[in-house]
Structure 1
Amino acid sequence: MLEGIKVIEMATYIAAPGAAGILADWGAEVIKIEPLAGCPMRYTMANMGADHLKGSPIFDLDNRGKKGIAINTATPEGVEAVKRLVKDADVFITNVRPGGLERAGLDYKSLAAVNPRLVYASVTGYGLEGAERDRPGFDVAAFYARSGFGYLQTVKGSEPTTLRTGIGDHTTSMATVGGILAAIVERQTTGKGRLVEASLLRAGIYAAGSDTAVQLKYGKLGSTKSRHESVAPLSNFFKAKGDAWFVIVPRQGSIDWKAVLRVIGKPELETDERFANPKARRANAAQLVDILDAAFAAHDLDHWRAKLDAEDMIWAPLMRPSDVAKDPQAIAAGAFVEVPEHDGSGTYLAPASPIRFPGADDGPKGPAPALGEHTLEVLRAFGYSEAEIEGLKAAKAIA
């Protein structure tokens, strides 16, 4: 879908490279600029003490199908090389902090002067304005903790739990892709590019937007309760025989109350005053959850699968990632793709990009590049002579 779109990415870690990675899956030509030492995500497995494992699946996910070059942008020659690449580009994506970009002359204003059609996507922790715009911000900090999301995920009276790797980053990646494509559509009319500003903080606030909207409207918000204190005790996780957890999401009001009673074989509870309406069920949540726990513990998940599906209930098993990889429905939904190994030895399974385009080539276009793999190829393609390339080497702008 994006064939002919040229993207220059100058970014490390996950959120910004993830956005460029989605664009690469969808057919854009993406040139990834890394520092000479490489993106830290290349070394994730080694940094976690698992250096016996091959490669870095975390890095590969967000960087497959890109051309990789290594440039030292702390040198004037390196900055000039970036500007030469940008001159012919459609999109520039970066997560370098705003102050550093301004000092280097790689901020939006500077690059728009080089290429007025450029769509410039900035991905930061906290945005481009305000006293904290240059504060570093990983997703567990800016997206999760600072946005209120982490508080909402913490059961009252319990200790907070952290966010797994990349969840906030990839949410921000998807948002960034949307902003970039909107700016490309606008450019078709105006002929000009624009600044697209994404931040982990703003994405986190939006991701928690349903609760945040209540807070903003009414000035108050209920805390996250334990299973036995739930405001809606039917909307809960339950454990079947064999320690298999699953979640039930009943429709609002009492629509699914009778269906749940039919599922567990206790129709007599319909006339029990403790559970006569949603307010009563909330007041007696602990007793109701105990009854449901005892009922669901009596049979295995397959038994409840049949019962819940027969009532057209909204529910899902709590699955391990190892089971998700074998889930026929996830496979049918196109959630996984085969990615070529860098050494050409075969392929391996990885998550697909988040949107499917039936009938289109919307999957990986190749492996993630080795550090600096395409530096000379790209520079020559952009008009650098051999003498100029040697000058970049002498200036330590490239390795």
Structure 2
Amino acid sequence: MSVTEKLNGYGPLAGIKVVEVCTYVAAPATVRVLSEMGAEIIKVESFAGDTQRTQGPGFGCELTETEDPTIDLNNTNKNWVSLNLKTEEGLTILKKLIADADVFMNNMRTGALEKLGLDYPTLSKEFPNLIWAQMRGYGEFGEFAHSPGYDAVCWAARGGVSGTFPEKDTAPAIPPQAFGDYNAAIMMAAGILGALVNKLRTGRGDKVVVNLYHAAIWAGGIGLVAQQFGADYPKSRKSVPNPFNNTYKTADNKWLYICQPEYNRYYNDMMKIIGRDDLVDNPAYCTIETVKQNDSQHEVINILEDGFVHKELEEWLSILAEWQVPSQKVFRFTDILKDDEAYVNDALRKVEYNAFGEHAITTTPIRYANFGDPPMILSKPIGYHTAEYLHGLGYDDEQIDALEEQGVVKCWHGEDVPDVIFKSQRQAAGEAECKW
């Protein structure tokens, strides 16, 4: 049984079919977003599989033949077909799958697409109602149009993230792997949904393109505009424009982040909170205009540092909550993994592996009232659904065996991997309905 049948018509995209020829993160994660909206996903892999399948040992995860936590991150609720696209028959089978699809999603380089006849001009002529989507490292034009790209170089390095996030005069930041990929994936999913709406209105397909470099520039919009008005990046926390939007160390050596954008309105409150009533209405500090004019941000920051260092983090969080000051502990991933807020709102969901035990996995953040928390079925081995989809295209067992012997397709011949549907915490507790 395909994963799609198991989901029993779940989601706003039920009935929409997506064929994916994607590797690594940003493009497969885009399709994961669509899968958790209920679309039928046919992921077409080479015989070696998505190259993300090789990444587990680098993260300290020893893989098994049927379980791969690193591939699960980008590939829930998918059906798995394996074709040799270097063969004429392999391409023919892919074209048959695309012919019945709404979306063809890829992150192949343009030259390879043209060589295979999978480029937009070719496929749009053959299938005018097809939405053709490509995730790229850089844009379609200019010097880097045909360059390979990963989020580390396109998004983090050239996109300014590594250079603007760290404390001033320190080494460039190294964001967690694929941080930019997941941001770009949501943007691409939005683009595909827009094209789907237009297709429903007009019957016409379209070309949708997102690149990692542009995704970083969009996310850095405020900084890029501010830079043009003299706000240089990276910044030192000692000279941020608004001292009430900054990090401060507490007595127990933890970091507190406060964000109070209206400096003038809340200046007196902040002075009272840290026990500096003597500075209430102080003309040197009470307006952000004066602070900026005198370049005295560091003086206000020193005052706040001297105040926050006298109490422990939890006490400050309680005090700041009473004063309705937006604030949080500066979390690390170890904190998030223990945070009930992440589980009760289904940002993290517990799954059970035979080989690895219980682990948390991220979910896509979009929720619909009519459908609730999405079902989650983990990934499958290479070629797990190949025979099933070939049967659907009219091939019989003898023909499938012949294709496999000829090196055209790869089918899974190992043990069955059950379609276990993992529920959200609230669903598992009976506090939320499973609408699938």
TM-score normalised over the length of structure 1? 0.92
1:2 alignment partner AA: L
Is the contact made by 1:232 and 1:278 (CA closer than 8 Å) also made in structure 2? yes
Note if 1:380 corresponds to 2:391: yes
2:388 alignment partner AA: E
What does the per-residue CA deviation read over 1:271-322, in whole Å, with 9 as the maximum and x for residues that have no partner?
4454242244352233332222222121112211121111111212111223
Give the SS at the match of 1:8: strand
Q: CA offset at residue 359 of structure 1?
A: 4.5
Is the contact made by 1:139 and 1:166 (CA closer than 8 Å) also made in structure 2? yes
Is the contact made by 2:67 and 2:379 (CA closer than 8 Å) also made in structure 1? no
How do 1:69-218 and structure 2 match up within 5 A?
Answer: 69-215=81-227, 218=228
In the aligned structure 2, how far is the partner of 1:383 from the partner of 1:209?
Answer: 51
Is the contact made by 2:242 and 2:261 (CA closer than 8 Å) also made in structure 1? no
Q: CA offset at residue 52 of structure 1?
A: 7.2
Unaligned 5+ segments in structure 1 are: none
Is the contact made by 1:120 and 1:195 (CA closer than 8 Å) also made in structure 2? yes
* Residues 104, 15 of structure 1: alpha-carbon distance in 2 compared, 3 angstrom cutoff: same
* Residues 359, 329 of structure 1: alpha-carbon distance in 2 compared, 3 angstrom cutoff: farther
1:379 alignment partner AA: L
Is the contact made by 1:155 and 1:223 (CA closer than 8 Å) also made in structure 2? no
1:228 to 221, 226, 238: 238
In the aligned structure 1, how far is the partner of 2:143 from the partner of 2:219?
Answer: 24
What does the per-residue CA deviation read over 1:207-263, in whole Å, with 9 as the maximum and x for residues that have no partner?
111222345xx4754222211122222211011222221211112341221121121
2:314 to 279, 284, 302: 302
- 2:33 aligns with 22
In the aligned structure 2, how far is the partner of 1:239 from the partner of 1:338?
Answer: 33
Unaligned 5+ segments in structure 2 are: 1-11, 411-436
- RMSD between superposed Cα atoms in Å: 2.4
TM-score normalised over the length of structure 2? 0.84
* Residues 44, 167 of structure 1: alpha-carbon distance in 2 compared, 3 angstrom cutoff: same
Give the SS at the match of 2:55: helix
Give the SS at the match of 2:264: coil
* Residues 46, 227 of structure 1: alpha-carbon distance in 2 compared, 3 angstrom cutoff: same
Name the count of aligned residue pairs: 396
In the aligned structure 2, how far is the partner of 1:393 from the partner of 1:247?
Answer: 58
Is the contact made by 2:164 and 2:235 (CA closer than 8 Å) also made in structure 1? no
What does the per-residue CA deviation read over 1:112-135, in whole Å, with 9 as the maximum and x for residues that have no partner?
233221111110101333342221
1:237 to 247, 250, 267: 247
In the aligned structure 1, how far is the partner of 2:332 from the partner of 2:134?
Answer: 34
In the aligned structure 1, how far is the partner of 2:393 from the partner of 2:140?
Answer: 30
In the aligned structure 2, how far is the partner of 1:213 from the partner of 1:226?
Answer: 19
1:185 alignment partner AA: V
Note if 1:249 corresponds to 2:268: no
* Residues 52, 397 of structure 1: alpha-carbon distance in 2 compared, 3 angstrom cutoff: closer
Note if 1:267 corresponds to 2:269: no
Give the SS at the match of 2:280: helix
Is the contact made by 1:95 and 1:124 (CA closer than 8 Å) also made in structure 2? yes
Q: Percent identity?
A: 30
- 2:371 aligns with 360
Is the contact made by 1:337 and 1:363 (CA closer than 8 Å) also made in structure 2? no
What does the per-residue CA deviation read over 1:323-348, in whole Å, with 9 as the maximum and x for residues that have no partner?
2233233333331234464x699864
Is the contact made by 2:343 and 2:349 (CA closer than 8 Å) also made in structure 1? no
1:277 to 287, 290, 300: 287
Is the contact made by 2:346 and 2:373 (CA closer than 8 Å) also made in structure 1? no
Is the contact made by 2:167 and 2:235 (CA closer than 8 Å) also made in structure 1? yes
1:292 to 299, 304, 308: 304
How do 1:382-397 and structure 2 match up within 5 A?
Answer: 382-397=393-408
* Residues 350, 240 of structure 1: alpha-carbon distance in 2 compared, 3 angstrom cutoff: same
